[in-house]
Structure 1
Amino acid sequence: MDNGGGSSEAAAQPLEWKFSQVFGERTAGEEVQEVDIISAIEFDKSGDHLATGDRGGRVVLFERTDTRDNGGQQRDLEMMDYSMSRHPEFRYKTEFQSHEPEFDYLKSLEIEEKINKIRWCQSANSALYLLSTNDKTIKLWKVQEKKVKKVFDWNVHPEKAAGNGPIFGSHVSAIPKSFMANGGCGERNFGCASNDSSFPPGGVSSLRLPVVVVLNLIFFFPTSIAIIVLVINCRHNVTSQETNLVAGCRRIYAHAHDYHINSISNNSDGETFISADDLRINLWNLEISNQSFNIVDVKPANMEDLTEVITSAEFHPTHCNMLAYSSSKGSIRLIDMRQSALCDTHSKLFEEQEAPGSRSFFTEIIASISDIKFARNGRHILSRDYMTLKLWDINMDSGPVATFQVHEHLRPKLCDLYENDSIFDKFECCLSGDGGRVATGSYSNLFRVFGCSEGSAESTTLEASKNPMRRQVQTPSRPSRPLGSLSGVVRRVKGADNSALDANGNAFDFSMKLLHLAWHPSENSIACAASNSLYMYYA
């Protein structure tokens, strides 16, 4: 699947991944606080901004710095040499507290502040907009620059000022040598002490305050009595000294979900978005926070008849009337909102049939889809279950067009993984901008990159560290099959490795799990979250 304009032969070449940056790196033996663990990550549509959310309810924004216009011939030369010498570089921009812990008194339920998902909205007037959600409440945030005005031109030196705080401002003049004759520090002279050597013993002859200028003189005659209003302003001593980034909550979309929100997704129309919990999907208008429309409801009349729940939902990238959602049974449903107001009936169903005799106690658990993503062109859907990545063509519902083994080496360990609840971990997935590669996370802070272009057998395992190739594992990939000549379902291929060890004989650490990662929308750059650290790589 080569949508980037390059040849399939070039796309089939494995990428050489290199370390780019790390934010919040842990030192050896440092204990990580639970609230600092990253729980969501998302690039904006341009790739110039990156947002992360953590379990403490905070959202941290990063901005790209290597694309700034330097002007002149140097800029042109840099652009010509961009692919060889430059790669995406980001810096910390700002952060804000998005959600706070709450308590539902009606249900006696604590609501965590953990950020489940972040989605960028269209920017406007140099301001950034994004949606963030915890289990119950979605918020729309606006981040913009604001100039802060401060008073300056005091004639008292900050070190000689009375009181505990300094005088604000950067422009000060020297304190006069002559002081007032009666300006000593007596009992009635508040703000200084007689034994304070930092204040002039004779006082200050004069204190220059901000200049008050009369701007206008207005007369009102409500009852034949002239009321003079002086409109004044401080000028000449008030200046804009710095620009601050301010995050403001513009909308709060609450009280629409009885169960935990697992997904939010923006529509291509720029006006609406969806939110999904275990049993329902709601449609919102960005401008209306007190009303939403329930478009999918899988809740049975009797909860004892419940057999599956919604695990993830996402809008089609270009068709505003289409969306897809996945279930705990391993199926993906494509729905068209033009068919009916309540979209309980799907237009297409994507699921893989079980092999005869393969069913076990763990079959349904490992088949549950934890994440789905549309390719940028909208033709394919990538899904992640516990064991595999699967690529689906929306025009072919007979089965996935490609299957990538991620955790096949853990199949003999399913009992242990069930005992320590690791089997319920929800790993995310992502696609490159051209659709030629896919990626997902694993244990021991490892993540996998697979090539899905025609003829590609790329399968790379990397570690979230400054040396990503340190623990590279060479594992067999699924058979390569051109996407243009598919007539059936790609068979599952069991790897030869039946132990939970990597190629160097190191045991996988199930407490170190790389659940969240994102691919830059237009370049081969991946951002991944390992505990409280954000690692970035490029190829």
Structure 2
Amino acid sequence: MWRTSQIFGDNSYTENIDEKDKISTLEFDKTGDYLAVGDNSGRVILFQSDNIKNESSLESDISDREIDIEESENDLENENDLEKELEAEFIKKKKKQRLQYKFYTELQSHKPTFDYIKSLEVSGKINKIQWIKRRNQSHLLLTTNDQSIKLWKIITKKIRSFDNLNSKKEQKNLNSENNFHLPKMEKTQMEKKATNTKIYGNAHVYSINSISLSCDEETFISSDDLRINLWNLERSDKAFNIVDIKPQSIKQLSEVITCSQFHPSQCSELIYSTSKGIINYADLRQGSKCNKSVKMFQGGENVEKETFLDEIISNITDIKFSPCGRYILSRDFTSLKIWDLNMENQPLSTLYFHQFSQNKYKELYKNGNIFDHFKCNWSGNGKHVLTGSYEDYYYIFDWKKNKGVLVDCSNTTEVYSKLYDINPEINNENSVFGENDKLSYDSEKINFSKKILDLSCNPNQNLTAVAATNILYLYVG
């Protein structure tokens, strides 16, 4: 059972939501203690777990110390009662396992601008966030919109205020001992300050769709529809083009790049996907250009596209390396596929959903929902894969055991998750659950405006952050 841990945002009012307030991306850092959330207006909101106490305000630190003193006194009083001590330890462990997040700080990363050369308006929507490993007390993260990438540094500073100062009237008679007094320092407060240290721009002609940090924490890649560039964190004035699929004539264009990612442990290896449903595995040691991939992953069902809609449905919207780096997770409109790096011809596992009728696909094409970029992700231990869907549902699959669960984010009081039939009959359009299950997914009555496009998993806890339009849900399993 997956249950709601926390909800950020007003879920009582869901109609006529301002487009600027919709969440566009979210990402946990490697420790799982911090969560970054970006929206369509260019804002980035950071959340901090209750495991961190050193960076909190002075008042909360004092309250935490008082609680620790009270708990130690209670332990001394119940020193002879072994059962109560064991019960207290069990409760403490449970509290540590159930992470709670609170607001940390907020920054305005990007703002809407106008490109006078192209005569286009560039929105401030945050497309991707990447955390950088901490080297000191400050936080570093990369944020990008369609046009530029920014490196942000968040510093926590101590702010000291002084009281009992000598007024201007009293300064005239400072020779008198009665009129002169020393200032006193009040309580120290903590203030978070976000500074934009670098801007990586003027390297992409088309909209940036993804960024990925290398495991050496010194370089990162950024990709748009036709190119992938390699950057050094210390240099924002120059980037190296490593993939370029732009043909000589734009009429010859047959595919575009949809996503790219570095290998989690090999800094020279990367993958990038295309709109044809192909995953290219490249190695920078083979050459400065990675247009010719070392391996190409393409296979499974629906390889031959009969219609134009089949080509759109097979478009890969997101790819992710597994935490161990051996497997690749890809997401298209109707399935999740898990690939083994040593097997290119077919995926290890294919997990199906969105088994709509052909008429429903035509409706999705007319209203534009068939182009929705659903993201996917691995759990911290690599045993489960997750992705979003319509009606504020998202899927959790145990891909090795071929089992799945569908979680309803709109229901936070009764039923949270139910078993999902991974391989339903293709002809049975409405078959998602058994007859006795409460949750239903009727393909003829789907509200396509309610959808979960992005989610992120805590790498060290069984906790998932889900972005449902303008609301952030935290689920624990």
| TM-score normalised per structure 1 | 0.75
Q: Distance in 2 between matches of 1:475 and 1:423?
A: 22
What do the CA deviations read for 1:271-291 (whole angstroms, capped 9, x no partner)?
Answer: 000000000000000010000
Show the counterpart of 1:142: 153
Show the counterpart of 2:405: 460
Give ranges in structure 1 of 5+ residues lacking alignment.
1-15, 157-203, 213-233, 479-492
Show the counterpart of 1:112: 123
Change in CA separation of 1:207 and 1:463 when aligned onto 2, cut-off 3 Å:
farther
Show the counterpart of 2:38: 53
Q: Percent identity at matched positions? A: 40
Change in CA separation of 1:358 and 1:469 when aligned onto 2, cut-off 3 Å:
farther
Show the counterpart of 1:295: 242
Aligned match for 1:476, one of 421, 425, 430: 421
Where do residues 109-508 of structure 1 align in structure 2 (5 Å cutoff)? 109-154=120-165, 206-207=169-170, 236-237=183-184, 241-352=188-299, 355=302, 359-409=306-356, 412-453=359-400, 456-465=401-410, 467=412, 470=415, 472=417, 474-478=419-423, 494-495=425-426, 497-499=428-430, 503-504=439-440, 507-508=445-446
| 1:115–1:134 contact (8 Å) kept in structure 2 | yes
Change in CA separation of 1:250 and 1:363 when aligned onto 2, cut-off 3 Å:
same
Local SS of the residue matching 1:408: coil
Aligned match for 1:62, one of 38, 47, 54: 47
Show the counterpart of 1:36: 21
Q: Which has the higher helix share?
A: 2
* 2:461 counterpart of 1:523: yes
What do the CA deviations read for 1:119-163 (whole angstroms, capped 9, x no partner)?
Answer: 00011211110000000100000011112243421589xxxxxxx
Show the counterpart of 1:532: 470
What do the CA deviations read for 1:175-220 (whole angstroms, capped 9, x no partner)?
Answer: xxxxxxxxxxxxxxxxxxxxxxxxxxxxx9x5579x99xxxxxxxx
Q: How many residues align?
A: 438
Q: CA deviation at 1:86?
A: 3.3
Local SS of the residue matching 1:308: coil
| 2:383–2:399 contact (8 Å) kept in structure 1 | yes
Q: Distance in 2 between matches of 1:434 and 1:43?
A: 15
What do the CA deviations read for 1:280-315 (whole angstroms, capped 9, x no partner)?
Answer: 000000010000100000101111111000000000
Q: Distance in 1 between matches of 2:331 and 2:51?
A: 33
Q: CA deviation at 1:34?
A: 1.3
Q: Distance in 1 between matches of 2:162 and 2:354?
A: 62
Local SS of the residue matching 2:361: helix
Local SS of the residue matching 2:460: coil
What do the CA deviations read for 1:49-102 (whole angstroms, capped 9, x no partner)?
Answer: 000100000000001104659779789965886358731211110101000111
Q: Distance in 1 between matches of 2:298 and 2:146?
A: 28
Give ranges in structure 2 of 5+ residues lacking alignment.
55-63, 76-84, 176-180, 434-438
| 2:403–2:421 contact (8 Å) kept in structure 1 | no
| 2:300–2:347 contact (8 Å) kept in structure 1 | no
Change in CA separation of 1:125 and 1:355 when aligned onto 2, cut-off 3 Å:
closer
Show the counterpart of 1:19: 4
Local SS of the residue matching 2:308: coil
Q: Distance in 1 between matches of 2:458 and 2:360?
A: 34
Change in CA separation of 1:125 and 1:64 when aligned onto 2, cut-off 3 Å:
same
Residue range with higher mean Cα deviation, 281-290 or 237-246: 237-246
Amino acid at match of 2:97: R
Q: Distance in 2 between matches of 1:410 and 1:78?
A: 54
Q: Distance in 1 between matches of 2:158 and 2:49?
A: 22
Show the counterpart of 1:513: 451
| 2:353–2:422 contact (8 Å) kept in structure 1 | no
Give the RMSD, CA atoms, in angstroms. 2.9
Q: CA deviation at 1:475?
A: 4.0
Q: Distance in 1 between matches of 2:40 and 2:162?
A: 39
Residue range with higher mean Cα deviation, 467-476 or 236-245: 467-476
Q: CA deviation at 1:427?
A: 0.2
Residue range with higher mean Cα deviation, 60-69 or 265-274: 60-69
Structure number with greater Rg is 1
Local SS of the residue matching 1:124: coil
Local SS of the residue matching 1:82: helix
Change in CA separation of 1:256 and 1:412 when aligned onto 2, cut-off 3 Å:
same
Residue range with higher mean Cα deviation, 88-97 or 25-34: 25-34
| TM-score normalised per structure 2 | 0.85
What do the CA deviations read for 1:490-534 (whole angstroms, capped 9, x no partner)?
Answer: xxx645641499854762210011001001112211100011110
